[in-house]
């Protein structure tokens, strides 16, 4: 069985799963997956005994084995420690692979910061999965200065046998390597979010008591991504609407709750378990993708678009390139006033056929289908 060693940017059991968990968890049905999680430093381990215990828990996914490298702290302050840590990570992964009798397979990288591993793990092929415009990331993303990101990204792309990108915009940015590129937009676990239309799941009490109509957002609550001016404006213009924001605050930048719009009809719920998200979305009357229009979001392929569609809910989004192909089922607002108007239009909708159409589109853009298309690419590359 072919082995894929993926250098993940998220822990396999992270409560806010992204493409790396969705994809690798499903590819494990066909290939052996070595899932290398982000490293932890020694001080963190000593202070978090529960985390040490969690290291010995099985993932529950057949053919997927996880490994977490241990590093020294303070690498962001001292370049020497960073260089030592990179060598430690490389050595630890090699030992892990040898111990698990992993054959020469695919090294699958999701971030330019892991360029130091290229050629160090005896890989037969190298895949680079580009999910964002990394040069447009906020500083807190931890990728380093722009010049460093650019050089690392170019180094990986030159060495890569295959480059996956999540949007046509990203493919355009990397056009120099067009012959290696496959466009694979992010999709959804449609089966999971379809539950929002089921009569058998219950709406949580904390949202059941919120006044209707409920205009909802689910995702990372970061100012570099979410346009809170639009949310604040719509909440002020529509005091009878309730705006519910679900997700971790400051997940990718320095956003703090106190600096977000504070109005009586805006409710910040914080993070909720992934398996319960359909229960919350069931209570939504309209779902939002109120992203800022920036260089970063221009390259975005929001998972939440297809999650909302799978739930059958009306979706109102800012004018992102990623939603352009879905204008027939998504309400698009390009100014704060226009965005508010689109919310009101969505609330007036009463069409069972539109619910079915959204779910049909979501099923066409599911992780099951995406995984099978990527599987075919992998098998084709192995035969070449």
Low-confidence ranges of the chain (pLDDT < 50): none
pLDDT of res. 142: 62
pLDDT of res. 158: 97
pLDDT of res. 89: 97
Provide CB contacts within 8 A for 226, sequence distance 6+. Answer: 217, 219, 220, 290, 291, 292
pLDDT of res. 283: 97
Q: Nearest Cα to 309, choosing from 193, 204, 182?
A: 193
pLDDT of res. 54: 74
Cα dihedral 285→289→290→293 (10° resolution): -160
C-alpha to C-alpha distances, 177 to 117, 148, 163, 382, nearest whole angstrom? 21, 19, 8, 20
pLDDT of res. 104: 83
Provide CB contacts within 8 A for 47, sequence distance 6+. Answer: none
Distance CA 189, CA 321 (A): 22
pLDDT of res. 139: 62
Q: Which domains does the chain have, with CATH numbers?
A: 3-187+367-383 (3.40.50.2000), 190-364 (3.40.50.2000)
Distance CA 105, CA 197 (A): 42
């Amino acid at each position: 069985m072919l082995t894929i060693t993926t250098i993940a940017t998220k822990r396999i059991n992270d409560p806010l799963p992204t493409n790396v968990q969705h994809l690798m968890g499903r590819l494990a049905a066909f290939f052996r997956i070595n899932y290398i999680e982000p490293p932890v430093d020694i001080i963190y381990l000593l202070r978090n005994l529960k985390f040490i215990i969690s290291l010995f828990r099985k993932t529950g996914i057949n053919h997927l084995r996880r490994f977490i490298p241990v590093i020294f702290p303070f690498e962001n302050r001292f370049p020497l420690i960073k260089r030592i840590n990179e060598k430690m990570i490389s050595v630890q992964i090699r030992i892990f692979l040898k111990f698990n009798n992993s054959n020469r397979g695919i090294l699958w990288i999701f971030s330019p910061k892991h360029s130091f591993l290229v050629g160090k793990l005896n890989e037969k092929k190298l895949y680079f999965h580009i999910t964002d415009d990394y040069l447009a990331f906020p500083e807190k993303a931890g990728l380093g200065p722009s010049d460093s990101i650019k050089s690392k990204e170019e180094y990986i792309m030159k060495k890569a046998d295959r480059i996956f990108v999540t949007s046509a915009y990203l493919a355009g940015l990397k056009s120099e390597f067009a012959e290696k590129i496959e466009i694979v937009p992010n999709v959804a676990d449609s089966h999971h979010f379809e539950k929002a239309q089921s009569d058998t799941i219950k709406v949580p009490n904390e949202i059941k008591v919120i006044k209707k109509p409920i205009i909802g957002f689910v995702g990372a609550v970061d100012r570099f991504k979410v346009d809170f001016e639009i949310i604040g404006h719509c909440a002020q213009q529509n005091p009878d609407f309730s705006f519910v924001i679900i997700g971790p605050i400051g997940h990718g930048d320095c956003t703090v709750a106190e600096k977000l719009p504070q109005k009586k009809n805006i409710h910040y719920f914080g993070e909720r378990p992934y398996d319960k998200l359909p229960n919350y979305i069931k209570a939504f009357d309209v779902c939002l993708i109120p992203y800022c229009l920036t260089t970063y979001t221009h390259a975005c392929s929001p998972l939440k678009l297809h999650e909302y569609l799978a739930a059958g809910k009306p979706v109102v989004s800012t004018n992102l390139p990623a939603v352009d192909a879905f204008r027939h089922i998504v309400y698009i607002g390009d100014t704060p006033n226009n965005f508010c108007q689109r919310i009101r239009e969505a609330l007036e909708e009463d069409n069972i056929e539109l619910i079915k159409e959204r779910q049909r589109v979501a099923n066409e853009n599911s992780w099951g289908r995406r995984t099978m298309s990527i599987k075919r690419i992998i098998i084709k590359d192995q035969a070449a």
